[in-house]
């Protein structure tokens, strides 16, 4: 069984994002980039499935600028067998990414696609669901546990009311939540080995997919700064301020 793991190159989660001076987007100049944390979890789960003998090959794929090769080399160092980069410089929306991933799935024929539930840069949480819809495959989103047996994948999902367990017939799409596992670190020997692993570079045109954006970003702004709190002397004063100044009661 093949497992396909899409990964995204995003601003490192330790870095504070800055808005461009003209408010057209987020400033990526001289900013540390890394693999989306949810995608790291997805990759770790795929590697564990292969190590358990439940899969033979783990393929990592990224869609974006040429620097995504660095992210893919990280996946190879962590243990992925090979990688694919679909090089595109423009803005890529979730639907365009899902269409490209579908084209890769049609070509590679994996039985399972595991990806992060969302990317920490746009928080769209749409790609996995759109991919499943385009493929006509069952989906298990926000997974905190994934088990494969007898041609099915059992997914324990994190939902508002608690946990929900669903059984999906393979092939299927699974998106991962934070509590699924703890990703491994790439060791130095594996980093060196990753340089020799295959990394194919393609374009959207190779798959005949139109990635023209359907949305236009009008403006990007930083969130408003939190105002300082007010210390009150009594409950009566608190209630009065909530009523007259905050207008919440």
Sorted by where each begins, the domain ranges of the chain are 2-246
Strand partners, 145: 156
Contact indicator for 176, 118 with CB cutoff of 8 Å: no
Give tens-digit pLDDT for 184-205: 998 999 999 999 999 999 999 9
Structure confidence at residue 128 (pLDDT): 95
**DSSP 3-state of 138:** coil
Q: Which of 46, 62, 141, 142 is nearest to 97 (CA)?
A: 62
Contact indicator for 164, 152 with CB cutoff of 8 Å: no
- pTM equals 0.85
What is the DSSP annotation of 83-133?
EEEEE--S---HHHHHHHHHHHHHHH--SEEEEES--TTT----HHHHHHH
Give tens-digit pLDDT for 235-248: 998 888 888 877 77
- 100 against 233, higher pLDDT: 100
Cα-based distances in Å from 43 to 20, 160, 183? 32, 25, 8
Give tens-digit pLDDT for 49-84: 999 999 999 999 999 999 999 999 999 999 999 999
Q: Was domain 2-246 assigned CATH 3.40.50.620?
A: yes
């Amino acid at each position: 069984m093949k497992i396909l793991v899409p990964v995204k190159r995003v601003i490192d989660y330790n870095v504070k994002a800055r808005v461009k001076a003209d408010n057209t987007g987020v400033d990526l100049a001289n900013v540390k980039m890394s693999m989306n944390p949810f995608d790291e979890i997805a990759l770790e789960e795929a590697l564990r499935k292969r190590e358990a003998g439940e899969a033979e090959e783990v393929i990592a794929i990224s869609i974006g600028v040429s620097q995504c090769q660095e992210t893919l080399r990280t996946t190879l160092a962590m243990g992925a067998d090979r990688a694919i980069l679909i090089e595109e410089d423009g803005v890529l929306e979730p639907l365009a990414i899902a269409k490209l991933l579908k084209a890769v799935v049609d070509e590679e024929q994996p039985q399972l696609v595991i990806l992060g539930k969302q990317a920490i840069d746009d928080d769209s949480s749409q790609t996995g669901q759109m991919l499943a819809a385009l493929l006509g495959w069952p989906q298990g989103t926000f997974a905190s546990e994934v088990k494969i047996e007898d041609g099915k994948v059992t997914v324990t999902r994190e939902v508002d009311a608690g946990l929900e367990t669903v059984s999906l017939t393979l092939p299927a799409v699974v998106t991962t939540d934070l509590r699924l596992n703890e990703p491994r670190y790439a060791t130095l020997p594996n980093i060196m080995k990753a340089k020799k692993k295959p990394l194919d570079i393609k374009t959207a045109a190779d798959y005949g997919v139109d990635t023209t954006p359907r949305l236009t970003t009008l403006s990007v702004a930083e969130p408003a700064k939190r105002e300082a709190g007010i210390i009150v002397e009594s409950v009566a004063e608190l209630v009065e301020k909530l009523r007259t100044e905050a207008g919440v009661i």
